[in-house]
Structure 1
Amino acid sequence: MKRLALILAFAACATSDDSPPPIDEQPIVDAPVEQPDFCNATDPRTVPVTVVATPEAGETPYTSVLARAQTSIDLQVYLMGYGGILDHLKDKARAGVRVRVMLDGSKRDTNQKYFDILVAAGAQVKWSDPKFSYFHAKFFIVDGKTAVMSTGNYSKSFSIDRERNFVATDSDPADIADLVTLFEADWAGTTPAITCTRMVISPVNARERILAVINGAQETLDIESMQFADWGVRNAVKARALAGVDVRVMLADPSWIDANAYAVTFLKELGVPVKWMPHMHTKMLVADGKVAYVGSENFSQTSLDKNREVGVILVEESSIAPMVETFDKDWLIGTSL
């Protein structure tokens, strides 16, 4: 009996000491915060993308970043041109910075002289892989830290000083890592291993991401584009217009871009106002003033599905505001079609 009493006593003590405190006395442990994986185009950035319009901004958005290069410049462009960009590439290559440039091989008649100039300065230069209909991306990465993407090519006298374009400067580490991966794969002639990215890349994910921005518009949709030829894009815009979204479209002159002639008819039948202005070369759209796309992708089937192209989806207010401001200014001076 004494042994049983001791066992019961010890059991009672153990039960008393080991029992959890009442619920209202237990410490509160915060649930782990889920970190964004940057697989979605609208995942937040650590550093907002800076967007400016040309010709107003001139060459500065390009040359100010190139001037800071200490170790490397990796660049892809459809058409190179004379001006500050080419001059900085030459100077940096001569100064010992590793400069690698990829030019569109289908435009050798235009790009060959720049190819030769860059090689003579010490840069490494390659032609694009012919598997792409056009190597139409326009971006460069400096020191693996900052990328500059644009809707326009690199001729100062024409693309930069005359055309309507946008330039986006991106220093977000995840975006830069993806662009480095893309460049290295294209340089090596391999398929980029990019399955989780914010970026808009043709022919990887551009179609679905641009359509997602259009399909998400609830109140307003502003489109400013050199081309409006792709039927998937056209039908997505049609659906938004029929749903009551206020759509406005700025295009390049139909006498320059043949596909825009029918695009105008298509849009006007929907009651969508369409305007044009000279030297319209940009590729951008803004939905509800809250989500935007800007990049090298035209709204054409070739551009979305067969080219190498690069762009971004933006949700940061500071990034979108210059695009909205520029569109509104262009709309005021545009010519109705």
Structure 2
Amino acid sequence: MRAPLLLLSLGLLLARPALADFAARGVELVHTVPVETALATPDLRDPTVVWSELFDAANKEIVIAQFYAASQRGARFERVIERLAAAGARGVRIRFLLEERGKSISDPATVARLRRIPNLELRYLEYGKLSADGIIHAKYLVVDGKAAYLGSQNFDWRAFEHIHETGVRIDDATVAAQMQAIFDYDWRAQDLLAHGQSVAAPARTVASDAASATASAGARPDVYLVASPAAFTPGAVRDAEAELVRLLGQAREEVAVQLLDYAPLSYGPNHTRPYYAVIDDAVRAAAARGVKVKLMVSNWNTEEPAIHYLQSLAVLPNVEVRIVTLPPAAQGVIPFARVIHSKLMVVDGRTAWIGTSNWAGGYLDRSRNLELVLNDARFAARLLQLHRQTWDSPYAAPIDVVRRYPKPLKGG
């Protein structure tokens, strides 16, 4: 009986899709496929599996930073909270940092459940007191200071079931340590601000380019972390805003981008939208020198005045803009779901950018966000396939440069 069983086991193993984990480089591409869509990625693991695995492997400490927290009974995401609770129950220290301005969209019952987890301490940081008008928009976690995850997924059941999301599991000790240092700085800032004390700017290591920045931090130049805002990022982690502009400036052939929102606008008082040209200038300059720009955004990006800037971008030579509208769920309206939320870029088929920031003012200049950059042709090729799958799907449509788009119903 052993031979047939061995052959059966071998057959099942060969029949499984090869996971695109890029283990040799310590980075695994992770993807949330919105249910009831045709956007299948069988070679990429689901974040519920990856997050649960990370929590199960924790021995000493888990740190989590998120904009808000929300779950509901029966959702896939419940597995993640259960594994987090199991880690706390076996003695793992858990520090959970949420954005103060995210309280209004957090689910009180979920927050209460988190607070009941043994060995878990939850804090709210009003990031705007640290960086004017900024928020904690990063979505990441670090386990035992050596393994990490960052991506577009909020700590939200919808992000694991009804939203197009992309992230990376990171088994690179240097990058994980940098993420831990950023968390520790923000955690300490919350403590100081809560006691009415000032927060000193962190020690920074200035480097002339990304390669020297990562080398000075002991990292590999092919995989490195960038973060924002620069003024409140410790160590040798490069400024995300400056690095994004640099990478766009180096593009020679094609830039493929997927975002929730793109606009050369920031967020000001009384719902005003001050002009923010940094990224838009870099994109337009790339197109002007012949780089093909393929920008894909969500249908939430059709609100005014952002839509007019997208339309003006789309009339330029070498620029294509597509708007993605996912079908509603069979169960009915789900507020703030059924949307593409991934934040990714592929430059010339060789450099990949995955992170937590929308491309608009207030994110890369004032808010806490993290991105991972990989100079790896194989990883970039898989990320480009992910981009093309949605780009070529029936959910994506070229922007109409003269249409007056209706206001998107983000909340149902």
| TM-score (structure 2 length as normaliser) | 0.67
Q: Deviations over 1:69-123 (max 9, x none)?
A: 1211011011223223322222211221101100111011233443322121121
Q: Deviations over 1:264-319 (max 9, x none)?
A: 21222213111121311111111101112110111111001111111111112343
Aligned equivalents of 1:54, 1:184: Cα separation in 2: 28
With CA pairs under 8 Å and 6+ residues apart, which has the higher RCO, 1 or 2? 1
Count of residue pairs brought into register by the alignment: 292
Q: Deviations over 1:132-152 (max 9, x none)?
A: 421111000111110000112
1:270 to 316, 340, 344: 316
Q: Mark the runs of 5 or more structure 1 residues left unpaired by the alignment.
A: 1-44
Helix, strand or coil: the match of 1:117? helix
1:124 to 117, 121, 128: 121
Q: Deviations over 1:229-278 (max 9, x none)?
A: 13211111111111111111101115665454123212222131111213
Residues 1:307 and 2:354 are matched in the alignment: no
Aligned equivalents of 1:69, 1:216: Cα separation in 2: 39
Please name the residue that 1:201 is paired with. 227
Query: How far has the Cα of 1:335 moved from its partner?
Result: 1.4
Amino acid at match of 2:297: L
Aligned equivalents of 2:145, 2:301: Cα separation in 1: 41
Amino acid at match of 1:179: M
Aligned equivalents of 2:376, 2:24: Cα separation in 1: 11
Helix, strand or coil: the match of 2:174? helix
Aligned equivalents of 2:303, 2:374: Cα separation in 1: 27
Helix, strand or coil: the match of 2:363? helix
1:108 to 100, 103, 112: 103
Aligned equivalents of 1:312, 1:267: Cα separation in 2: 26
Task: Check the 8 A contact 1:228/1:259 in 2, yes or no.
Answer: no
Task: Check the 8 A contact 1:186/1:192 in 2, yes or no.
Answer: no
Amino acid at match of 2:348: D
Q: Deviations over 1:172-222 (max 9, x none)?
A: 121111111111111111544353553211101111011111111101111
Task: Check the 8 A contact 1:293/1:311 in 2, yes or no.
Answer: yes
Please name the residue that 1:17 is paired with. none
Is the alpha carbon distance of 1:194 and 1:72 closer, same or farther for their aligned partners in structure 2, counting shifts above 3 Å? farther
Task: Check the 8 A contact 2:352/2:376 in 1, yes or no.
Answer: no
Most deviating of 94-103 and 196-205: 196-205
Amino acid at match of 1:302: G
Aligned equivalents of 1:253, 1:193: Cα separation in 2: 40
Most deviating of 200-209 and 106-115: 106-115
Task: Check the 8 A contact 1:46/1:172 in 2, yes or no.
Answer: no
Aligned equivalents of 1:257, 1:142: Cα separation in 2: 39
Please name the residue that 1:72 is paired with. 61
Q: How does 1:10-21 map to 2 (within 5 A)?
A: none
Please name the residue that 1:186 is paired with. 186
Please name the residue that 2:261 is paired with. 227
Task: Check the 8 A contact 2:262/2:306 in 1, yes or no.
Answer: yes
Task: Check the 8 A contact 1:289/1:324 in 2, yes or no.
Answer: yes
Please name the residue that 2:25 is paired with. 47
Aligned equivalents of 2:247, 2:306: Cα separation in 1: 21
Please name the residue that 1:290 is paired with. 350
Please name the residue that 1:336 is paired with. 398
Aligned equivalents of 1:119, 1:180: Cα separation in 2: 21
| TM-score (structure 1 length as normaliser) | 0.81
Amino acid at match of 2:92: V
Query: How far has the Cα of 1:332 moved from its partner?
Result: 0.5
Q: Mark the runs of 5 or more structure 2 residues left unpaired by the alignment.
A: 1-22, 34-40, 72-76, 190-198, 206-212, 215-223, 231-238, 265-276, 326-338, 400-412
Is the alpha carbon distance of 1:46 and 1:332 closer, same or farther for their aligned partners in structure 2, counting shifts above 3 Å? closer
Task: Check the 8 A contact 2:350/2:381 in 1, yes or no.
Answer: no
After superposition, the CA RMSD in angstroms is: 2.0
Greater Cα radius of gyration, structure 1 or 2: 1
Is the alpha carbon distance of 1:125 and 1:86 closer, same or farther for their aligned partners in structure 2, counting shifts above 3 Å? same
Is the alpha carbon distance of 1:327 and 1:193 closer, same or farther for their aligned partners in structure 2, counting shifts above 3 Å? same
